[in-house]
Structure 1
Amino acid sequence: MLYKFAKFVVYMVFKFLFRIKIIGKTNVPKEGPVIVCSNHISNFDPPVVGITCPRDINFMAKEELFEKKGIGFLLKHLNAFPVKRGMRDRNALRNGLGLLEDGGTLGLFPEGTRSKDGNIKKGLAGAGFFAMRSNATVIPCAIIGPYEKFKPLKVIYGEPVEFESLKAEKPSAQEVTDEIMENIQSLIDEYKK
């Protein structure tokens, strides 16, 4: 209930402030497990992906945020779950895989942290891990800023990442993440104009 209300309120505010233009929303499947992988340029990225994705989306958030009273309460009620950064967090991996097994939508920022210069960075292996360990459809997402008042912000959902030929080569999780990042970069290159 809080999720739907917050999504509506934030959408109205952000749509007004940032003139959000959504492209490719129909590429996100209506059913079944989905992983949305986006570039990361601002603290506003999670709510922007959350309000523009046609499905309810679950994000991992750094564990420290859950320790703060107000924000911790909000995160728990806005479909977020904690992850320990800088180490392999088995609980977070289990939570993410369980969510996908139940047909949910997992939102990831494979870079792990915001890009200070806006250029896409190397993604971490976690996105590839989830892609290879689940039957989820992986949707690349590109956020093209800047986040400036009354300036257009584009959110592009690309076509599902094709892994069939890659799977035959038995790739590492990092190689799968690299493929996802290439798809995100392609969206940025295509729509940055």
Structure 2
Amino acid sequence: MTFYSFAKVVVWRIFKPLYRIQVIGKEHFPEKGGVLLCANHIDNLDPPVVGITAPRPVVFMGKEELFQKPLLKTLMEKLNVIPIKRGMSDREALRKGLNVLKKDQVLGLFPEGTRSKTGELGKGLAGAGFFALRTDAAVIPCAIIGPYKPFSKLKVVYGEPIDLQEYRDNKANPGEVTDVIMNRIKKLIDEHRK
């Protein structure tokens, strides 16, 4: 058993009863091939929650600051997190992200780039659109609907793959494609928030 698999089992056993996690739409998740998984960001616990509910292992992009403390750096590396410099174009991180998708793995992104202070969906950064346009990966929107309160229900909703072929054919810009992805995430939030 890999460290990732072990961590997934342990975290699931703690989080599932604590946050009464309900997972919706797992059937939309492709069983193979590259997947760009894009979720809203409402809490620091979003990455582990997406990691334990996604049907396949997820390689996340995480802020570089997480790699500055030795213990945390080791943990991030064991969980296959790719460090990314925030607020600037990080070519190395972009290259590593593309490689994940080209190897038919799952790349997890929070397109907003930071947690939403209000819980409302913020504007997405162009990185999500960049990955979507540069690969043939399936793009799966994911809505995390909180709040993270012990014993109240937390929903994780996986939507159907977003068909971006028209945008790829027309050489759309990354920002435009990110907006399409964010609109789909918003639609999932609106449909499942109760």
Q: What TM-score results when the alignment is normalised by the length of structure 1?
A: 0.98
The one-letter code matched in structure 2 to 1:65 is: L
Partner of 2:192: 191
1:84 is aligned to: 85
Deviation at 1:162, TM superposition (A): 1.5
Secondary structure at 2:8 match in 1? helix
Kindly provide the CA deviation profile for residues 71-100 of structure 1, in whole angstroms up to 9, marking residues without a partner as x: 111000011011111110011000000111
Q: Which residue of 1 aligns with 2:163?
A: 162
Distance in 2, matches of 1:81 and 1:108, equals 11
Deviation for aligned residue 1:167: 3.2
Q: Any idea what the Cα deviations from partners look like across 1:153-174, whole Å, max 9, x if unmatched?
A: 0000000011123334321100
Deviations 1:28-73 (CA, angstroms, capped at 9, x unpaired): 1010000110000000000000000000000011111111111111
Identity rate of aligned residues, in percent? Answer: 58
* Aligned alpha-carbon RMSD (Å): 0.8
**SS of aligned partner of 1:36:** strand
What is the CA–CA distance in structure 2 between the aligned matches of 1:68 and 1:135, rounded to whole Å? 35
Tell me the equivalent position of 1:53: 54
- Runs (4 or more) in structure 1 with deviation over 6 Å come to none
Q: Counterpart of 2:178 in 1: which secondary structure?
A: helix
Segments of 5+ residues of structure 2 without an aligned counterpart are: none
What one-letter code is carried by the residue in structure 1 that aligns with 2:187? S
Following TM superposition, by how much is the alpha carbon of 1:147 offset from its aligned partner in structure 2, in angstroms?
Answer: 0.2
User: C-alpha distance in 2, partners of 1:131/1:82?
Assistant: 19
Asked whether 1:153 is paired with 2:154, we answer: yes
Q: Aligned residue for 1:42?
A: 43
Q: Which whole-Å CA distance do the structure 2 matches of 1:159 and 1:48 have between them? A: 19
- What SS is found at the alignment partner of 1:82? strand
Which deviates more from structure 2 when the two are superposed, residues 77-86 or residues 161-170?
161-170
Distance in 2 between the 1:46 and 1:138 partners? 17
Paired residues in the alignment total 193
CA distance in 2, matches of 1:12, 1:160: 28
Counterpart residue type for residue 73 of structure 2: G
Q: Which amino acid aligns with 1:96?
A: G
Pair 1:130 & 2:131 matched: yes
d(CA) in 2 for partners of 1:24, 1:88: 33
Q: Within 2, Cα distance between the matches of 1:100 and 1:167?
A: 16
The match for 1:28 is 29
Aligned partner of 1:111 in structure 2 is 112
